[in-house]
Amino acid sequence: MTAATVPGAAQPREYPVRIAPSILSADFADLGQEVAEVAPAVTTIHVDVMDGHYVPNITLGQPVVASLRAATDRELDCHLMITDPRTYAPQFLELGAESVTFHPEVEDDPLSLVHELHERGGQVGVAIKPAHPLAMVEELLPHVDLLLVMTVEPGFGGQAFLPEAVPKVAEAVVWRHRHGAHLRIQVDGGISRETIAQTVEAGADTFVAGSAIFGREDRAAAARELAEIAEQVRRGVLAR
């Protein structure tokens, strides 16, 4: 069963299309300007935090998130590719991020961390890598606000989209419908004008895009184009 065959499972009104530009592909020496350029087209900025342990790359941490918070009123969606979210996730909320997403396999008791982050007033997401089945996070899904389905191996921007991850999006839509749960489904990695449609068809509602936005001269136009494609595909899915 795909998302399109689940009645009411991917209601645009309940889960509006969100394009979340990943600043990983932005010019870090000019981050304020980069965010200001894309902000008119989006509600959310995706912030990839990497610690060099969970993934073989180091990106940014608390000082950058603090500066971003001062520079924009857009939601900051922190994707924590780190081995110690219990220590650091609360700090990103404290700095003003609206949501934090972590990879739960690094925690002995990820559910208690979800609860702790909710108590601190944040939205909470859990992420699955391409090799991880949905079953790995199923027990957490009733408790989180967002499921992040990685469509590349976490660690770097600009990688090729992995279509084999997409069926998990449809599976999550079916799970959500069956459990009457409320959960946004985000895809992250290799999302572009060429690849976004298949993730919309599967039922994703939140689309992280780094190089497809910051690799273009007009960042806002790039984000709007992705949103327009997603809306068009949705209209087609619903009309079936």
**Among 188, 201, 205, 225, which residue interacts with Zn ion (rule: CB under 5 A)?**
188
Of Zn ion, ligand DX5, none, which one sits near residue 19, judging by CB under 5 to 8 A according to partner kind?
Answer: none
β-strand partners of 46:
22, 77
Instruction: List % helix, strand, coil for the chain (3-state, nearest 5).
Output: 45, 20, 35
For residue 187, the surrounding DSSP H or E stretch is strand 184-188
Minimum CB distance to Zn ion smaller for 132 or for 177: 132
For residue 89, the surrounding DSSP H or E stretch is helix 85-94
Choice among 77, 188, 205, 218 that is catalytic:
188
Minimum CB distance to Zn ion smaller for 37 or for 188: 188
- Is 48 catalytic? The answer is yes
Minimum CB distance to ligand DX5 smaller for 4 or for 127: 127
Minimum CB distance to ligand DX5 smaller for 15 or for 207: 207
Distance CA 22, CA 45 (A): 6
Distance set, CA 62 to CA 14, 36, 58, 95, 162 (Å): 32, 20, 13, 8, 30
Of ligand DX5, Zn ion, none, which one sits near residue 191, judging by CB under 5 to 8 A according to partner kind?
Answer: ligand DX5
The region of 113-121, 137-145, 161-169, 184-192 touching Zn ion under the rule CB under 5 A is 184-192
And the tokens for 31? 């981050």
- Is 188 catalytic? The answer is yes
Choice among 27, 30, 48, 109 that is catalytic:
48
| Residues 201 and 3: beta-carbon distance below 8 Å | yes
CA angle 54, 152, 11 (to 5 degrees): 115
Q: Closest separation between CB of residue 22 and Zn ion, Å?
A: 6
And the tokens for 131? 């090799």
Give the residues lining the site for ligand DX5 (CB under 6 A). 22, 24-25, 46, 48, 79, 152, 154-155, 157-159, 188-191, 208-212
| Using rule CB under 5 A, residue 48 touches Zn ion | yes
* Residues classed as catalytic: 48, 188
Chain contacts with Zn ion (rule: CB under 5 A): 48, 79, 188
